[in-house]
Amino acid sequence: MNMKLHIALAVFILGMYAQLAFRQNSTDKEFVTKALISNQFEIALVDYATPRLSELAIKTYSKKVLDDHYEIYDELEAYAISKQWTVPLADSQAPQRMLDSLKNMSDESFDHMFLQLIIDTHQDAIRLFAESLINDDISDVSLKQWISEQLPSLRAHVARATDLSQKTKQQS
C-alpha cells in the first residue's frame, strides 16, 4: 500500500474512534444533565409542598426524600464538575406552577396529590436510570455503578409514597 492510503486509513480509523468517544462522553453527559434537572425538580417540589402537607407521616417522608435528593444532587454535581461539564439549572418555577394550581385543595387532597406527583416524577427518574443501564448508554464504569446504587433508593421512595397514598385514601 502506498503512503497516502495508509494515512487515509489512519485518519478514518482515528475519526471513528473520536466519534465513538464523543458519543459515549456525550451520552454520559446527557444522562447526568437529565438526572440533575430531574433531581432539581424533585427538590423544588418537595421543598415547596412540605409546609402545606397535613399528615405527619407524609411530612416525615418528604424530609427523607429531600435529604436523599440533596445527596444525589451533590454527588451528580461533583461528578459533572470533575468532568468539567456545566451544571444545568432547572426551571425552578415549574414545581411551583404545578402546586400553585392545587392551592384550593383541602389538606387531604393536597397530601394525596403531592404523593401522586412524587410517584410520577420518581417513576420517570427510575425509567431514566434503568434505561441508561439496560441500553448500555453509559461508558463510565463508575457512573454505571453509581446509577445502579441509586435505583433501590428511588424505588423505595415510590413504594413508600404508594403506601402512604393508599393509607391517605383509606382515611378519607
pLDDT tens for each residue of 145-171? 999 999 999 999 999 999 999 988 777
Distance between CA atoms of 119 and 88, rounded to whole angstroms? 24
Q: What is the mean pLDDT of residues 40-63?
A: 90
pLDDT tens for each residue of 89-144? 766 566 667 667 667 777 778 898 889 889 988 999 999 999 999 988 898 999 99
Helix (H, G, I), strand (E, B) or coil at 88: coil
The pTM score is: 0.79
**Which CATH architecture fits 25-171?**
Up-down Bundle (1.20)
pLDDT of residue 110: 86
- For 17, what's the count of Cα atoms within 13 Å in the CB-facing half-sphere? 6
Distance between CA atoms of 94 and 162, rounded to whole angstroms? 23
Q: Cell 427523607 belongs to which residue?
A: 64
Q: How many helices (H) and strands (E) does the chain have?
A: 5, 0
